Amino acid sequence: QILVAGSCVSSTGHSQVQVLEWDGDVGLKRLHLHIGMPWLNSASTNVSDQLLLLAGGESMCVLDFETGATVLAQGAWHRSLVNCPRFSNTHPALFASASLDERAALWDVRVGLQKPVWSQNLEWGAVLINWSPQDDRLLVCGCDNNIVQLSSVDGRV
């Protein structure tokens, strides 16, 4: 069993991600440490556990899970806090993001992070995005109890 744990010191924005493994004989042991990005708020692995997606502030980056090397970095497509981007449940290269900038987007790491596959403008700031079990829909939750389901194919409501 592998555990990925992230933390952020609120007074400084310094962040780190620890990768731990459960060993029944000795308990949790640290495998390696990835230094995160400033203001880390999310850490997520893809379905094959080869990639680690980090989000902090307006930025996201994808790291190689084994080495910690940056595979892709995206500076500021979102114009506000990116909340909990998540990899697809079944496709190792796809992930979705949502932000307080009132946008949700689908990304494909095979083509980079300069521009999303699609984006959808919302009328409210988003605080959570998650995939349906079959990956055909995305649930986006936002401020003031707003909720919408988007098609993962094209972002339509």
pLDDT tens, position by position, 109-136: 999 888 999 999 999 999 999 999 999 9
pLDDT score of 12: 79
| Arithmetic mean of pLDDT over the chain | 88
138 in Cβ contact with 131 (< 8 Å): yes
Residue 65's alpha-carbon distances to 27, 40, 48, 53, in angstroms, are: 22, 17, 10, 9
Q: What angle do CA 119, 74, 66 make, to 5 degrees?
A: 115
Residue 17 CB coordination number (10 Å)? 20
Q: What integer is the mean pLDDT of 63-86?
A: 86
Q: How confident is the model at residue 13 (pLDDT cuts 50, 70, 90)?
A: confident
Q: What pTM was computed for the model? A: 0.86
pLDDT score of 92: 97
pLDDT score of 56: 84
With a cut of 80, say whether residue 98 has pLDDT above it.
yes
